[in-house]
Structure 1
């Protein structure tokens, strides 16, 4: 009987092919990841907004006329200067921008400030929107909102606790939200005007209202209304103030709050478009 010749190279090739097929196929016939661990981690999604509105152009002239009544009495060239606004100085206009306006009238002066901040998370596991919520929560906790009562222990606690943020500090561009230095709104005003959380304005919002002396030896009263809201990873701060020219006059809380909230609603729509 003639014996067949044994070919070592062919046998080795067959063994390698069988081993490769076995390693790449699961028991149910499906293909598996050959990397150890199998599961892959995904980074948190980026924020909805990659740019910011141009703040000095984000308020219509008709709105500015309503917010700055003294400007209408000025000559046309001076009106143009008032309505143009003054842009805030920032280091990164993709991250933070602002604008301010001021107008004086015989009975009162008005000052409006806008601040737009686009929050970016530098933690791959935390989304830009989640980081923005942390920053917003710190702003709300620093405002003069009323303290909530804990029904379990009866002790007061902040309605929104401050959150720790690891995002790099951004240089401020506008005056920060008043933090209760003065008399909060509510004294001598109708119910419902105290600093509070606002519903149906962006993803989250609150209003602060502070009445205080004008300072620098003046006995005039100055009321500052702030509306702060968050839409995705952008935080918008509106500061609208009125200083009475007569010491016996107190700026009207309801009027200032309504105008500030009206402006906020218009800005929400612009960011949504």
Structure 2
């Protein structure tokens, strides 16, 4: 048996180990040329504003007109609003206000939802778009602006499946507008009083007078990264009817929902659809600007 000096034996072992791992010290299972997938960009918004302070006092006075007639201490209480109970204020917050009078009551509810994607390959914005599209589809609406970024061409977008309307939507929010018997709303009452003046509105120019198409539920342009409006007339109790106008819009990874309701005390009086829609849209524009600050 040949004698091998200790130094020579150690050198041979080192050379053998280096050869087994390949050049450059790369791992045995590494694949040359394999690209590392970068994580999707986080959403623009990391926190949410206080919803009860998000609406300016001047706007609240317009939305809750009856409150202005109350004593100052009661006005203050109405305008402060009541925060929605949530478990994670960085992800979802809400607030509602209500003013009552002998002839009618008004209720305002706003909800801020910050969407976070837990899939590193899907951005917060794309995940928020998916959530928004579900709400829009459940309301029976669709628009090119709601399409995922990879399918922005509206002509290539497949129409929503009828079964998709079973998904959760803006009507599933836990706010004042979910009260008052929405589940009992007969089909066809949606926007049913905009047919020629029952509530003071008139038919649109050039229409046959059956309905004012400009007041029907619809998608909205130039409001955030996608928006829609819903208008629902429901019966509250045995006689009174209330109207709820909802405006839902997305700005980056935040989805904002506004629900504005008027309920007259007399069943023969129907809330003015145009007035409620105008006020709800005006508030939505103010909230978009607030998120842009």
What range describes the TM-score normalised by the shorter chain of this pair? 0.7 to 0.9
Q: Is contact 1:144–1:179 with CA below 8 Å preserved after alignment?
A: no
Q: 1:247 aligns with which of 250, 256, 267?
A: 267
Q: Is the 2:228–2:248 contact (alpha carbons within 8 Å) kept by the matching residues of 1? A: yes
Structure 1 residues 162 and 261 mapped into 2: Cα distance closer, same or farther (>3 Å)?
same
Cα deviation code 1:129-150 (max 9, x no counterpart): 1111111111111115499xxx
Could you tell me which residue of structure 2 aligns to residue 232 of structure 1? 252
Question: Greater strand share, 1 or 2?
Answer: 1
2:215 aligns with 193
Aligned partner of 1:174 in structure 2 is 175
Between the aligned partners of 1:176 and 1:78, the Cα distance in structure 2 is 23
Gaps of 5+ in 2: 1-7, 144-158, 196-200, 202-211
More helix by share: 2
TM-score (norm 1): 0.77
SS at match of 1:114: strand
- Output the CA distance in 1 between the equivalents of 2:58 and 2:235: 30
Contiguous gaps of at least 5 residues in structure 1: 1-7, 25-33, 148-156, 166-170
How does the TM-score come out when normalised to structure 2? 0.72
Could you say what the CA RMSD is over the residues aligned between the two structures, in angstroms? 3.5
Q: Write out per-residue CA displacement over residues 219-272 of structure 1, whole angstroms, 9 at most, x where no aligned residue.
A: 122100000000010000000000012221110000000000000000000111
Indicate how the Cα distance of structure 1 residues 71 and 162 shifts in structure 2: closer, same or farther if over 3 A, else same.
Answer: same
* 2: CA distance, partners of 1:23 / 1:161: 57
> For 1:243 and 1:101, how far apart are their aligned partners in 2?
14
User: Given that residues 177 and 244 in structure 2 are in contact (C-alpha distance below 8 angstroms), is that contact kept between their aligned partners in structure 1?
Assistant: no
Equivalents in 2 of 1:58, 1:243: separation in Å?
24
Q: Which has the larger radius of gyration?
A: 1
Given that 1:141 and 1:160 are in contact with CA atoms closer than 8 Å, whether structure 2 keeps it comes out as no
Kindly state the Cα deviation for residue 36 of structure 1 after the two structures are TM-superposed: 2.1
Number of matched residues?
A: 245
